[in-house]
Chains A and B, each alone.
Chain A
Amino acid sequence: MDPIRSVYEDDPDMLEIVREFAVELPARIAKLEAHLAAGALRDLQTLAHQLKGAGGGYGFPQITELAASLEQALKSGADAPVVKDRTRSLCELLRAVVVPEAR
């Protein structure tokens, strides 16, 4: 997957918090994978909900989009393979996020 960058990287008001958000993503990926493995669907849904709400605000509309589709699957009680698939896509996307350089 191509690397993805925040659309707000060049906004001086945003740079610092976009960096923090990107730096913390590996920890979120680990949590997503752990909840998936443990079948903790409620926790998985909470994480998806939070990423949906924050992603676009930090300049990553793709994160909002994929997190929303995972949340939707969990809300509607979709089959396990669907949930697994969407969680993995989300994690893959999060791994592609580039941490912007501090200026």
Chain B
Amino acid sequence: MNPEVPNPNRVLVIDDSESIHKLVVARLRPEGLEVLGEVDGERGIERAIADQPDLILLDIGLPNVDGFEVCRRLKEHPATRSIPVIFLTGTADTESKVRGLDLGAVDYVTKPFDQVELRARVRAALRAKRLQDILEQQSHLDGLTGLWNRRYLDQRLESELNVARRYGRPLSVVLVDVDHFKRVNDDFGHLFGDIVLQGIAEGLRAYARRSDIVARYGGEEFAILLTDTNLRAAMYVSERLRSSAESRHFEARTEIVSVTASFGVACTEDLAAELTPEALVKAADLALYASKDSGRNCVHLYRSGELILSTGNPLALGSE
């Protein structure tokens, strides 16, 4: 999963009246919105968690669980917390409106609603949601390279490690360090250094798999999180990334400069220590240092305390 453009907007309507559903569909479809519907609060919450709509139109006067309670629960659940809620209210009293807004709703529309007003309020809420999404994503992105940043990587490492532990699936980490980067900066200037980092980042993103999480870890160091990937598969990916970095050329004034990078790979399945984010990163770091020590531009694997030079050949890992 790498930063992407969001899909067309979807609106979930939770209202016990079918007439209201049809009305909302007829009024919002011309806006190019997809409308989902549920007539019951409990089902509505489940649907919101599963389908992740961009906006929820929520009736206050729902039978069983009322709209206030549904809103409270939506705002409590991590998967639905950031989805804006607009209350649909049949009663125009101030108390209900204030209560709804205090529970975290962004707006309210009184029924029967005026179509122009409904559309305008929906548009406004979606606009705010889009900006909020962009801000959230940007706080997870590295400004120079457009890759995920270290904060995001640390968060994902923690959660992916939980998944790996719970389901017994392998998780690999690759650390990448650009070789002799200081020399590049000294010889050609920091601006050129930035161009090199951007180029290397582009290569990592292009040659990693869709499911790999590629991040700038700091300075000239990058980290890649490979879910559902064992040491052998992570080695293949790393070899591919290493050779793509090696074959990239940068133009500096009159010179053509090429750079290389060193790689360290560790996998949860081959960890001697206990499964913590720190232990996994530490193991990959040890492997990276082994690559640096043995002449750079190569990949080392951490395997149960041993550091093995990858030859790109699976036999190097013995039979598995």
The residue from B23, B63, B111 contacting A52, defined by CB atoms under 8 A apart: B111
Residue of A nearest to B22 (CB): A17
The residue from B17, B25, B30 contacting A53, defined by CB atoms under 8 A apart: B17
B29 within 8 Å of A by Cβ? yes
Would you call A17 and B26 a contact (CB within 8 A)? yes
Number of interface residues of A (CB under 8 A): 18
> CA of A61 to CA of B111 in the docked complex: distance in angstroms?
11
Q: List 19 A-B contacts (CB under 8 A).
A: A13-B27, A13-B29, A14-B26, A16-B26, A17-B22, A17-B25, A49-B90, A52-B90, A52-B111, A53-B19, A53-B90, A54-B19, A54-B23, A55-B112, A57-B20, A57-B113, A57-B115, A58-B23, A64-B112
Would you call B61 and A49 a contact (CB within 8 A)? yes
How many A-B pairs fall under 8 Å by CB? Answer: 50
Q: A89 to chain B: which residues have CB within 8 Å? A: none
What mask results when residues 15 to 55 of chain A are scored 1 for a CB within 8 Å of chain B, else 0?
01100110000000000000000000000001001101111
A100 within 8 Å of B by Cβ? no
Q: Is the interface of A mostly helix, strand, loop or mixed?
A: helix
Q: A52 to chain B: which residues have CB within 8 Å? A: 90, 111-112
Residue of B nearest to A20 (CB): B22
Whether A53 touches B112, Cβ cut-off 8 Å, given contacts A13-B29, A13-B30, is yes
Q: Which of A59-87 contact B (CB under 8 A)?
A: 61, 64
Shortest distance from the beta carbon of B39 to any chain A beta carbon, whole Å: 11
Residue of A nearest to B112 (CB): A56
Whether A57 touches B111, Cβ cut-off 8 Å, given contacts A49-B61, A50-B19, is yes
Would you call B22 and A53 a contact (CB within 8 A)? no
Shortest distance from the beta carbon of B28 to any chain A beta carbon, whole Å: 10
Q: B19 to chain A: which residues have CB within 8 Å? A: 21, 50, 53-54, 57-58
Shortest distance from the beta carbon of A29 to any chain B beta carbon, whole Å: 15
> CA of A56 to CA of B23 in the docked complex: distance in angstroms?
11
What mask results when residues 237 to 272 of chain B are scored 1 for a CB within 8 Å of chain A, else 0?
000000000000000000000000000000000000
Top 5 A-B residue pairs of the complex, sorted by shortest distance between their CB atoms:
A56-B112, A53-B111, A54-B19, A57-B112, A57-B23
Q: A57 to chain B: which residues have CB within 8 Å? A: 19-20, 23, 111-113, 115
> CA of A49 to CA of B113 in the docked complex: distance in angstroms?
14
Shortest distance from the beta carbon of B314 to any chain A beta carbon, whole Å: 61
Shortest distance from the beta carbon of A9 to any chain B beta carbon, whole Å: 13
Q: A50 to chain B: which residues have CB within 8 Å? A: 16-17, 19
